[in-house]
Structure 1
Amino acid sequence: MEEDDEQKRRRLKLEEALEIQSLRRIITAYLNYPDASEEDVRRYERSYRKLPPVHKDLLSHYPLKFQRLRRCISMNTHFIFSMLQAFEPPLDMSQDLDLSGDSHAECAQKDHLASQGINACSCESAPVRIPCCQQDGVEGSNDTCRSPVLLHANKEVDMESNHQSNAGSHPLSSIPTKQSEEYSGSAMADSNDNVSPSGQHWLGPSFQFNVPLVDVDKVRCIIRNIVRDWAAEGKNERDQCYMPILEELNTLFPNRSKESPPACLVPGAGLGRLALEISRLGFVSQGNEFSYYMMICSSFILNHSETAGEWTIYPWIHSNCNSLSDSDQLRPVSIPDIHPASAGITEGFSMCGGDFVEVYNDPSQVGTWDAVVTCFFIDTAHNIVEYIEIISKILKDGGVWINFGPLLYHFADMYGQDEMSIELSLEDVKKVALHYGFEFEKERTIETTYTTNPRSMMQNRYFAAFWTMRKKSAAVQVPLE
């Protein structure tokens, strides 16, 4: 028994060390954003200097464009560093990471980084309660959101850029002096120039390490996702994707009780807008997200936004392709388009960080939810059959599963990596759903985009599957043909 306890302690210590290591990597990717972006601009400048004089004369406005790009990068960096400064890590980031003492550490570390996972036990770890927002420095007042955001420390896995390979490593160079002093130092000045300890020692350079360039690409992906969820420019996409879901929920639960509202789970909640909109309808809504890139950003917008339009970002500056004009590429976007604290959410709104399978494949979750909403989510699975099985388990008898999205399986093209990936056709997905006790009520195809620049010359479109399925009472599994 003593040996078993010792092995368990060593295992938990290793898991925590791996989680800290992965979270540091994500923080470093965010911190590396300005340097990686500056290197891009320098590359543009080098190409421009190679032009013959007659061609340079035709593009005499380019040096000004490069300076404008730098100002846009600076504004994005200000938002990112403000977000990091507000982030409260679920673990002690100042811990010394020594993985050499465990004989299994090297193998575990390779497996861990291969999946970019944070291998912690989500159901056993206590949630970190973060106020949904603060207003006038008072927590829990009537002017704040009525429930905390619950963050469970767990896994970070790849998101939209999972098809990309690690094409190289970009060392973290020094953060510009002014930004370093403001965001990574031990003190910050308030609006009255009073200096106070920041407490964010984990942002210091001693806790950072080299990250692949693909990690910085994920930061750029987050900036585009912000537009989709929290900007007026993303309204068209939200209307295409979220509105059918919200209308269906409103129809299926017409007489919602304020005293006992129906409970809806949103796996793959991303930056939290859909979960918030469901809460505004009068549901107890919980978003679930496993990407720390997403969780850090959603927590900042939900918890720390003081007004609508508080921040300005430039989401389209990192692509020179398919631009109608420089002004389109360099145009600003204001966020958030609404103030989350004033959005009229239902008490019980929360965000739960962790891998969907690990968090919800737990006996305590069986028959808990009246509705499960999956939007651009089910194709993130290593094993989509397991996703469907868990959705069936956690729904109450008669509960509904509303799905919207394509089948762009995220692990389908992980060449050179032995990643499990079960890639079913839509027809097979439906057969599996019937096996786990679902019956179709509605089904149609909806055309939509995903984090697309609305002014780009290239518009990738999905013909997304939208359905409502109901879990039969006393669900009976039917054999697959």
Structure 2
Amino acid sequence: MEEDVKRWERSYEKLQSAHKELLSHLPQKYRDLRRCIGVNFRFIMSMLQAFDAPFDLSQDVDTDSQLDAAQTRRNSLDSDYVCHASVCDEVHTYPPFETTEQVSNCQPNSSDKCGNIKARVNDIQLDGAVQDGPSSISSADEVLNIMDDPRCLQDGAKAYQPRMEDTRTTGTEKMCQNAKKVSICGMDFLDPMLHLHVPPADVDKVRCIIRNIVRDWTKEGAKEREQCYKPILEELDNWFPNRSRERPPCCVVPGAGLSRLACEISCLGFACQGNEFSYYMLICSNFILNVTQAPLEWAIHPWIHSNCNMISDAIQLQTVYFPDLHPGSAGITDGFSMCAGDFVEVYSHSSQEGMWDAVVTCFFIDTAHNIVEYIEIIARILKPGGVWINLGPLLYHFADAISYSGEEEMSVEISLEDVKRVAAHYGLVMQKEKTIETTYTANLKSMIQTRYTAAFWTMIKDGNKQTSQ
């Protein structure tokens, strides 16, 4: 971001004197932008410092460039940068799980180490009673893992693998290392120690995270949440009207992002598990769930990264506070958890068959290499009579992978009509469907908006039809 400001300053300096006079406020704007950068930087450093990484950051890793697919796909929609929470980044750097079976044995109410991030907040308020230390939500450091399996060398969540030969540490990892060493006061982001070359893709992923914070955890994101999350929550409430505290229905949310939807479902009285593939998302959701102590505790400036389509400088420099809902005081239901890993790898395991009363997918199913496989797994993990609620478009994330990765990626791209036909084949019976107009991580005060006509449906698993193995 500092390089962007310098570029803007260089362009300003090239102006004729008369033109400079017309724009004499810009030098002050650039100073204000640096102050905003400092605010964002302090948050990022605090987030990294609070994260007890479950792997050795000094290890070099190698990346798989195909995992920039979703981000590149979303960014191409308009110049105001659009991203998709489920897959803004799909890079994981966790150490191995002991076995594939261990991660796949995640149970809705299990306390085993099965890849769960659970909110760890001291003296959190649950259902009106103060509980000391970890309650139904426990430590993230127990569980941020990834499978130690030959398949880890394939695509999906296994993108970062430790290498024996000498490789270069990524910019993101260096930032993680430096976060442990430097103060986050004042303008320390100008410290030469932090003047690292960060790949543009990593920069975009951080910007994507900041925009997703706005969507999920600020009052400014309330409109998008009302468009996307409210219909899902109302549908869950309608299908499970008599929820028991002792035996709450189990719901899984693949592509949970920063976990607001999963948190809201938990507050509704479900034993909810979010599943997330993105390491960036998991670091940030860990911070919000486990570290924040009060509502509106943190400030960011989410719109400073571009001058394009801004109505005013005041809008560009806007301060946004989060979280608008403090997770530790929200009345979360016992059993709330986050499972880190690839949806297919985790939930295709036989132990997951028939385990879930509900599956909720929001802007998720088009993240697949093979959407048929996603639908098959969703049908398999639902109990007979279980509910699948979906909202989202079909902007297939690997559709043009060759344009940025140089290699052709598997990408099964089918119409909405075909999606419904495939679902019916696996015993999922349509109960309700409509379309919902919505944006995604949009600056609603920008001069440009990308709107989706998202498909919304509720399907029920036919208990008389067996899903294939």
State the Cα RMSD in Å.
3.2
Deviation of 1:211 (Å): 4.4
Assess, with a 3 A threshold, how the Cα gap between structure 1 residues 52 and 223 changes in structure 2: closer, same or farther.
Answer: same
**SS at 1:296's partner residue?**
helix
Deviation of 1:209 (Å): 8.2
Aligned to 2:122: 135
Which digits, 9 at most, give the CA deviation of each residue in 1:37-75, with x for residues without a partner? 111100000111111111111000000000000000000
For residue 62 of structure 1, what is the amino acid of its counterpart?
A: L
2:413 maps to which of 398, 411, 423:
423
Aligned to 1:81: 45
Deviation of 1:413 (Å): 1.2
**SS at 1:216's partner residue?**
helix
TM-score (norm 2): 0.78
Aligned to 1:146: 136
2:21 maps to which of 57, 72, 77:
57
For residue 43 of structure 1, what is the amino acid of its counterpart?
A: R
Question: Which has the higher relative contact order, 1 or 2, with Cα contacts under 8 A spaced 6 or more apart?
Answer: 2
Aligned to 1:215: 202
Which digits, 9 at most, give the CA deviation of each residue in 1:354-375, with x for residues without a partner? 0000010001100000000000
TM-score (norm 1): 0.77
Deviation of 1:123 (Å): 4.4
On the 8 A contact 2:297/2:321 being kept in 1, the answer is yes
2:281 maps to which of 288, 291, 294:
294
2:102 maps to which of 124, 127, 130:
124
Deviation of 1:113 (Å): 4.7
2:227 maps to which of 234, 240, 245:
240
On the 8 A contact 2:116/2:337 being kept in 1, the answer is no
**SS at 1:124's partner residue?**
helix
5+ long unaligned stretches in structure 2: 68-89, 104-112, 147-151, 158-167, 186-192
For residue 343 of structure 1, what is the amino acid of its counterpart?
A: A
For residue 366 of structure 2, what is the amino acid of its counterpart?
A: D
Deviation of 1:317 (Å): 0.5
Assess, with a 3 A threshold, how the Cα gap between structure 1 residues 141 and 400 changes in structure 2: closer, same or farther.
Answer: same
Which digits, 9 at most, give the CA deviation of each residue in 1:368-419, with x for residues without a partner? 0000000000000000000000000100011010000000111111122221
On the 8 A contact 2:57/2:177 being kept in 1, the answer is no
Aligned to 1:405: 392
1:442 maps to which of 432, 435, 448:
432
On the 8 A contact 1:373/1:403 being kept in 2, the answer is yes
Which digits, 9 at most, give the CA deviation of each residue in 1:129-184, with x for residues without a partner? 6651323699x9616653226644238969xxxxxxxxxx99959x99xx998x33
Cα distance between partner residues in 2 of 1:217 and 1:143: 38
Assess, with a 3 A threshold, how the Cα gap between structure 1 residues 117 and 231 changes in structure 2: closer, same or farther.
Answer: closer
On the 8 A contact 1:171/1:211 being kept in 2, the answer is yes
5+ long unaligned stretches in structure 1: 1-36, 100-108, 159-168, 191-204
Assess, with a 3 A threshold, how the Cα gap between structure 1 residues 210 and 326 changes in structure 2: closer, same or farther.
Answer: closer
2:290 maps to which of 293, 303, 307:
303
For residue 303 of structure 1, what is the amino acid of its counterpart?
A: N
Aligned to 1:226: 213
**SS at 1:270's partner residue?**
coil
On the 8 A contact 2:171/2:199 being kept in 1, the answer is no
**SS at 1:48's partner residue?**
helix
Between the aligned residues of both structures, percent identity stands at 58
Cα distance between partner residues in 2 of 1:147 and 1:141: 13
On the 8 A contact 2:256/2:262 being kept in 1, the answer is yes
Cα distance between partner residues in 2 of 1:442 and 1:55: 59
**SS at 1:467's partner residue?**
strand
On the 8 A contact 1:312/1:335 being kept in 2, the answer is yes
Q: Does 2:462 align with 1:472?
A: yes
How many residues are matched? 400
Cα distance between partner residues in 1 of 2:270 and 2:124: 28
Assess, with a 3 A threshold, how the Cα gap between structure 1 residues 476 and 362 changes in structure 2: closer, same or farther.
Answer: closer
Deviation of 1:124 (Å): 3.3
Deviation of 1:321 (Å): 1.0
For residue 49 of structure 1, what is the amino acid of its counterpart?
A: E
Cα distance between partner residues in 1 of 2:359 and 2:49: 33
Assess, with a 3 A threshold, how the Cα gap between structure 1 residues 434 and 409 changes in structure 2: closer, same or farther.
Answer: same
On the 8 A contact 2:124/2:328 being kept in 1, the answer is no
Cα distance between partner residues in 1 of 2:287 and 2:45: 11
Cα distance between partner residues in 1 of 2:197 and 2:36: 25
On the 8 A contact 1:149/1:349 being kept in 2, the answer is no
Assess, with a 3 A threshold, how the Cα gap between structure 1 residues 391 and 131 changes in structure 2: closer, same or farther.
Answer: closer
Q: Does 2:451 align with 1:461?
A: yes
On the 8 A contact 2:91/2:279 being kept in 1, the answer is no
On the 8 A contact 1:306/1:339 being kept in 2, the answer is yes
**SS at 2:131's partner residue?**
coil
Q: Does 2:33 align with 1:43?
A: no
Answer with 1 or 2: which has the greater Rg: 1
On the 8 A contact 2:271/2:333 being kept in 1, the answer is yes
Which digits, 9 at most, give the CA deviation of each residue in 1:251-300, with x for residues without a partner? 00000011101000000000000000000010000000000010000000
Q: Does 2:356 align with 1:372?
A: no
For residue 402 of structure 1, what is the amino acid of its counterpart?
A: I
On the 8 A contact 2:251/2:359 being kept in 1, the answer is yes
Aligned to 2:110: none
Aligned to 1:90: 54
Cα distance between partner residues in 1 of 2:275 and 2:139: 11
Cα distance between partner residues in 2 of 1:477 and 1:284: 24
Assess, with a 3 A threshold, how the Cα gap between structure 1 residues 431 and 136 changes in structure 2: closer, same or farther.
Answer: closer
On the 8 A contact 2:124/2:130 being kept in 1, the answer is no
Deviation of 1:353 (Å): 0.7
On the 8 A contact 2:362/2:392 being kept in 1, the answer is yes
Cα distance between partner residues in 1 of 2:214 and 2:275: 20
Cα distance between partner residues in 2 of 1:227 and 1:342: 20
Assess, with a 3 A threshold, how the Cα gap between structure 1 residues 337 and 349 changes in structure 2: closer, same or farther.
Answer: same
On the 8 A contact 2:366/2:394 being kept in 1, the answer is yes
On the 8 A contact 1:149/1:352 being kept in 2, the answer is no
Assess, with a 3 A threshold, how the Cα gap between structure 1 residues 134 and 399 changes in structure 2: closer, same or farther.
Answer: same
Cα distance between partner residues in 2 of 1:477 and 1:429: 16
Cα distance between partner residues in 2 of 1:284 and 1:418: 39
